[in-house]
Amino acid sequence: MKRVALLVQYDGSNYSGWQKQKNAITVQEILDRTLFKITNHSVKTFAAGRTDAGVHASGQVVHFDSDCVIPGNSYSDILNSLLPSTIRILESVEVKDCWHSCYSALYRHYRYVINNSKFSNLFINNWSWHRYQKVLDEVLMSNASKRMEGEHDFFAFQKSRSNRKNSITKIKKIDIKRVEDLILVDIKATGFLYGMVRLIVGQLVLVGEKKISPEIFTHRWVNKKKNDVKESAPAKGLCFINAVYEENVFQKINNNDFFPVFLIKGFS
């Protein structure tokens, strides 16, 4: 048996998330089914992080074990010839048996994109939240977010149905910047709670629109006021950028190229 790692991109618009579900089409189901066609045996894939329905990934990391004779670096081309156009394998490599896409990751990086223009944009509608009612104050949003860096209990930013034992996780860094009409919210953390990023963004938008103060924002999550955190950003603006490991597993793609460049450069 050998272990193969995949660097995967997908447009999550028409999928019910990453993880297999009953009576729903998911990215994992499509990938596992395609790997079965290639290897002639059932393959179980593991991802660096789960994504919900409608959430995208520009650099999802997946691994699986197989005794198939196909070289690890050949899976990307073979899979891309069989997968739908909404799922692409950027690279495939053979890794050590002890390496795990989820447990070996040092941290994960998510990005949320807000289109703060007065006008919607056909080319980014499926990849951003068109929040146009007011001009957002990204500096106020950034200042409000900084206290979240470090290890904290983020119970207030966890949706129901979570199966985690606790809601403590470590946010390494939060960056919020404006590029013309786009506001990019980048969050890097060792782990993410169910619905965490979308709830954080939903509250930060209220700060940016000056509907709540940075102090109220902080009070809600520090004091676990989950019932006060009602606004959640829509799924389509969220993208799993990549997972970072102690050693760089993939060599063909630059980390800066994970996210669709036109979303940033097109507005600069």
Q: Do domains 2-103 and 107-240 have the same CATH topology?
A: yes
Q: Which residues contact 87 (CB under 8 A, 6 or more apart)?
A: 8, 9, 10, 11, 27, 30, 31
CATH node for 2-103: 3.30.70.580
The answer to whether 228 is a known catalytic residue is no
Nearest 10 degrees: Cα torsion 6, 12, 17, 21:
-90
Task: Report the alpha-carbon distance of residue 69 to residue 65 in Å, rounded.
Answer: 12
Q: What percent of the chain has pLDDT over 90?
A: 85
Domains of the chain by residue range = 2-103, 107-240
Specify the amino acid at residue 17: G
Task: Report the alpha-carbon distance of residue 186 to residue 184 in Å, rounded.
Answer: 6
Q: Known binder of ligand: residue 103?
A: no
Read off the pLDDT of each residue in 85-89 and give the average, rounded to a whole number: 96
| Digit-coded pLDDT (tens) for 180-194 | 999 999 999 999 999
What DSSP state is assigned to residue 35? H
- Tell me whether strands 129-130 and 105-115 are parallel, antiparallel or unpaired: parallel
The one catalytic residue among 11, 52, 153, 228? 52
A 10 A CB-CB count for 66 gives: 19
Fold (CATH) for 107-240? Alpha-Beta Plaits (3.30.70)
| Digit-coded pLDDT (tens) for 102-119 | 999 999 999 999 999 999
Burial of 77 (0-12, 13-18, 19+ CB in 10 A): exposed
